[in-house]
Chain A
Amino acid sequence: MKKLSFHPCGNFREDYAQELTIFETWFGRVALAVFILLLMTAAPFFLKSYLLYILNNIGIMAIAAIGLNILIGYTGLISLGHGAFFGVGAYAGAILATRLGLPFYVCIPAAGIITALVGMVFGIPSGRLKGLYLTIATLAGQFIIEYVLIQWDWLTKGTMGITLPSPELFGLKIAGDKAFFFVIFISLIAMTWFAVNIMRSKYGRAFIAIRDNDRAAEGMGIPIFKYKLLAFAVSSFYAGFAGALWAYYMVSITTEPFNLGLSVEFIAMVIIGGMGNIPGAIFGATFITVLNEVLRFATGVLMNVSFVTNMGLNMAPLREFVFGLAIVLFILIEPKGLAELWRIVRSNFRLWPFSY
């Protein structure tokens, strides 16, 4: 019997259904529904186009970060190639749309599936390797994919880039930030729902078992290699889906953005958001995207301060420095990330004025 109450003050679970439930109380469910409703109705109509652009970017990055969180946070496989997979998705979507002329709603999932296959190929080393050796293998994957994207001229047009047609859905043309907002955020909600539910299923439990102790998992009869490949496939599907959305949103793509830096940003999202926490990936994506924009703005302002220009300083590298500092501080001070901070804040409100 769920009541419209805050969290209970302890663990009162009596059966597995309660253990598996996503929302422990109706309060959380209602709060989330209200938040989504507000976001969907208010944001696209009241926000300026620039803010909407940032919001859309957050949505796309959040989809990819959820995928990486399934791989790193739940299965314990560290991938440094997520940015490249994102790029594979973007190119798969762009090529399907321009060469084959497939419609929008086919392109996006198809790009996801193609990326999932590529991800499985680069997940094969996980059959023999683990820990840092696997990380190095995915690092190599990142460079190899980048090379292929640049050099496979007749397919990817190399450094020229590809321009995508503007997408259509149910006879409506999707163009501009407002229309994309709905497409992106409905996808984000669907993908989040999917991820949360995978993690409650047999597959999710197998992933977690592999992360916590792979030898014990093998001993309990989980076919490790199969599940590791599956984790790679699911995670790359998310990356590819997000990449294809991004390609449509950006209209034209080149190989440049899909470098190691992007992969590092994705891992930073997962760590800063909170590993092994699906909403955490969304927090992380928000944090990194907003940080990037704020830093871009701040360096722009600093460039115009006469003192700085007189000194002959170039302030642009400040962004890189602050980005690195954010990662380092989160790891040293709050390794469980923003999701944990959010939990602490919530429970403080709930328990106030008592400490527990």
Chain B
Amino acid sequence: MDFFLQLLVNGVCIGLLYGISAMGFVMIFKASSVLNFAHGELLALGAFFFLSLVTWGKLPVAAAFVLTLAGCFLLGFIIEKFFLRPLIGEKLIFVIMLTVGLAAMFKGLILLIWGGNLHTYPEFLPEWLELQLGGIYIAPVYSATMIISVVFLLLFGLFFKKSSQGIFMRSVADNQQAALSLGVHVRRVFALSWAIAAMVACMSGIVLGIINGVNVHDLSAIGLKVFPVVILGGLDSIGGAIIGGIIIGLLETFTGGYLSPSLRDVVPYIVLVVILMVKPYGLFGLVEIERV
């Protein structure tokens, strides 16, 4: 029973991580219908910015965190402005391949600058985050993750429900032409959503880096794990991303624990195919029926 509970807790923790990583992805898709294959590299960029500021720049953690978020906000703007804006209205394959090309570029850059080794952050999380419930141990990083993901989920929920920019974003996602004719600045919304999404991605990259250490290959692999998560949750639902993440995380840990460790990495993709066949728009995605 303890084994089961420990797997359950681990699964939820890993799942929350997937959920957080998927949030930025979903935001980009929601606002501009771009499937971002460079998401894993965005995570890695955030993690490495933070790493450089903390270890080489010797900045205090809070300052480094804020600076990284600001840098990534800018990066998102730049990506949208120079690479994706020329492709508005182009064929799907060009948009997909552009993000694939960007992924290769970012990965090459990161490897050139920081190398492919595993880096770790210095310890900075406070002691009181370490939880011990009965026989189950929750490491401080995991409780920090839970807190961060809940906070961000609330923040984004409020942002999309209450703030005018959030409502503009939703309107653009819903119907671009109608939004344009009602006076929404669609280009600014695209730029802003990329900037915010890059910021969220960087934040999740930092969280992942705290837990697993910072390594380009691992982080870009997580960028691909995001696909089963978002398909399960629904491509355009942020809450769905978190729930999808938790389900995929649980699936992974339980197959790893009870069936076979080698099956662990491929189970999400098998589930992905099944979901696509049965319920292509996921649990919370917007259903568009087209029978061709």
Interface residues of A (CB under 8 A from B): 72, 78, 124-125, 128-133, 135-137, 139-141, 143-144, 147, 151, 214-215, 218, 224, 260, 264, 267-268, 271, 275, 313-328, 331-332, 335
Contact = CB atoms under 8 A, between A and B. Distances in A.
Contacts of B5: none
A137 B272 CA distance: 7
B96 A135 contact: yes
6 contacts: A133-B231, A136-B231, A139-B227, A264-B100, A327-B97, A328-B105
Contacts of B22: none
A74 B141 CA distance: 50
B93 A325 contact: no
A328 B102 contact: yes
Interface stretch (B60-68, B83-91, B186-194, B247-255): B83-91
B129 interface: no
A327 B231 contact: no
Contact of B273 (A72, A141, A147, A332): A141
A315 to B, nearest CB: 8
B97 A140 contact: no
A125 B277 contact: yes
A206 to B, nearest CB: 14
B35 interface: yes
B100 A140 contact: no
A331 B111 contact: no
Contacts of A151: 262
Interface in B260-277: 262, 265-266, 269-270, 272-273, 276-277
B157 interface: no
B273 A317 contact: no
Contact of B94 (A129, A132, A314, A331): A331
A316 B111 CA distance: 9
B19 to A, nearest CB: 18
B292 interface: yes
Given A125-B277, A144-B266, A321-B104, A136 B97 contact: no
B147 interface: no
Looking at chain A's contact residues, is the secondary structure mostly helix, strand, loop, or mixed? Answer: helix
B131 interface: no
B178 interface: no
Given A78-B96, A137-B276, A335 B115 contact: no
Given A136-B227, A215-B292, A320 B35 contact: no
A331 B97 contact: yes
Which of the listed residues B224, B231, B273, B280 has the most CB atoms from chain A within 10 Å of its own CB?
Answer: B273
A129 B280 contact: yes
A273 B142 CA distance: 47
A335 B90 CA distance: 10
A318 B101 contact: no
Chain B interface size range: 35 or more
A263 to B, nearest CB: 10
Contacts of A137: 272-273, 276
Contacts, number: 134
A317 B104 CA distance: 9
B117 to A, nearest CB: 10
A272 B171 CA distance: 35
A125 B103 CA distance: 26
B280 A128 contact: yes
B98 A136 contact: no
Interface in B190-239: 224, 227-228, 231
Given A128-B277, A332-B87, 20 more contacts: A72-B93, A128-B276, A132-B35, A133-B276, A139-B224, A140-B228, A147-B262, A151-B262, A260-B224, A267-B93, A267-B100, A313-B112, A317-B109, A317-B110, A320-B107, A324-B108, A327-B98, A327-B101, A332-B86, A335-B90
B110 to A, nearest CB: 8
A254 B92 CA distance: 33
A49 B219 CA distance: 40
Contact of A317 (B92, B97, B107, B228): B107
Interface string B125-144: 00000000000000000000
A268 B103 CA distance: 13
B87 A331 contact: yes
B273 A324 contact: no
Nearest to B94: A331
Contacts of A260: 224
A314 B103 contact: no
Contacts of A327: 97-98, 100-101, 104
A321 B96 contact: no
B273 A140 contact: yes
Contacts of A72: 93
Given A140-B272, A144-B269, A320 B83 contact: no
- 3 tightest A-B contacts by CB? A321-B108, A324-B104, A317-B111
A143 B271 CA distance: 12
A271 B104 contact: no
Contacts of B105: 320-321, 324-325, 328
Contact of A314 (B90, B101, B112, B276): B112
A131 B269 CA distance: 18
A268 B102 CA distance: 13
Given A267-B100, A321-B108, A144 B276 contact: no
Contact of B108 (A140, A143, A319): A319
B277 A317 contact: no
Which of the listed residues B102, B270, B272 has the most CB atoms from chain A within 10 Å of its own CB?
Answer: B272
B111 A314 contact: yes
Which of the listed residues A129, A130, A319, A327 has the most CB atoms from chain B within 10 Å of its own CB?
Answer: A327
Nearest to A275: B93
A331 B100 CA distance: 11
A16 to B, nearest CB: 28
Which of the listed residues A129, A136, A215, A315 has the most CB atoms from chain B within 10 Å of its own CB?
Answer: A136
